[in-house]
Amino acid sequence: MIEINLLPSEGKKRKSSKFEPGAMITGVADQVKDKYLLSAIGVGGLSLALLSLLFVTQTSRANALDERNLKAVKDSSQFSSVLAAKNKAEATRDSLYQQVAIIRSIDDTRFMWSHLMYEISTALPAYTWLTEITQTTPPRSAAASDPSKAAKSADTTVKESREAKAAARKARSDSLLMAAKDLKFRLVGHTVDIQALTRFMKALEASPFIQNVQLTRSDVIATDGREVTEFSLEAETQPPAPFAIKTVPLLAAAGEGN
């Protein structure tokens, strides 16, 4: 008779199975003998790991940039009204500077011809008279010669300080005023003595309002049966020294007149 023991004895122990990756890899390596295939598998796994790392990194950077972009847009919308008001105020300020320069040019040049006529009449010697006084340059003003209307430079990244901007505006106003004061004129006259013409030119050069006196033409002509020398002089105005002009308040002058 054959007996089968369905309940094993307690002394016998089951054979335990453990997961060992090293042994598994070794077993696979033993089964696969092609080294090129193993290299390809290793490179593929490494590439997959690198791609996963790059994907995670780029995703994180994209999220950070999106957050910064949203914050910048929000700040721009908040301060857009402030920037617009600032730009409007600066434009108004620049316009006022230009208007002040125009007013100064008109005020400082309104007595120019009075000074010129006085200097010319004072320098005119005996036996010499003028027949023509002509302005050869077109009338100038600060509005016509304002360089701020020229094209601005494309480089707007450089920011100047407030002091530098104020100094630049003042220098521009002064240059506009000086440009409005410069003009050229021509004197045509007759003289019976050529030495008188020389003295006349020297006297004009000595004037604080006149410079660059040049003789452009000198001809002997007959006038009323007498030979005289007709001459033509070209000259320019110049800003006088501060001590050459004495200003008096209008109220004080009116009080002295009474």
Element (H, E) at 132: strand 128-135
User: Which has more pLDDT, 108 or 129?
Assistant: 129
- Put the strands of the sheet holding 128-135 in their side by side order: 128-135, 184-191, 226-237, 210-223
Arithmetic mean of pLDDT, 23-35: 61
Q: How far apart are CA 120 and CA 204, in angstroms?
A: 7
Characterize 118-150 residue by residue with b for buried, 16 or more Cβ atoms within 10 angstroms of its Cβ, and e for exposed. ebbeebbeeebebeeeeeeeeebebeebbeeee
Q: What is the CATH number of domain 111-147+162-242?
A: 3.30.70.60
Q: How far apart are CA 112 and CA 109, in angstroms?
A: 5
Model confidence over 109-126: pLDDT tens digits? 777 888 899 999 999 999
Model confidence over 142-161: pLDDT tens digits? 455 544 444 344 344 444 56
Arithmetic mean of pLDDT, 97-102: 79
For residue 223, pLDDT beyond 60? yes
Longest dimension (CA), the chain: 180
Arithmetic mean of pLDDT, 60-87: 82
> Which range is least confidently modeled, 5-14, 56-65, 127-136, 212-221?
5-14
Q: Return the SS3 of 158.
A: coil
Mean pLDDT of the chain: 76
Characterize 9-48 residue by residue with b for buried, 16 or more Cβ atoms within 10 angstroms of its Cβ, and e for exposed. eeeeeeeeeeeeeeeeeeeeeeeeeeeeeeeeeeeeeeee
Q: How far apart are CA 36 and CA 86, in angstroms?
A: 71
Q: In which band, very low, low, confident or very high, does the pLDDT at 229 lie, cut at 50, 70 and 90? A: very high
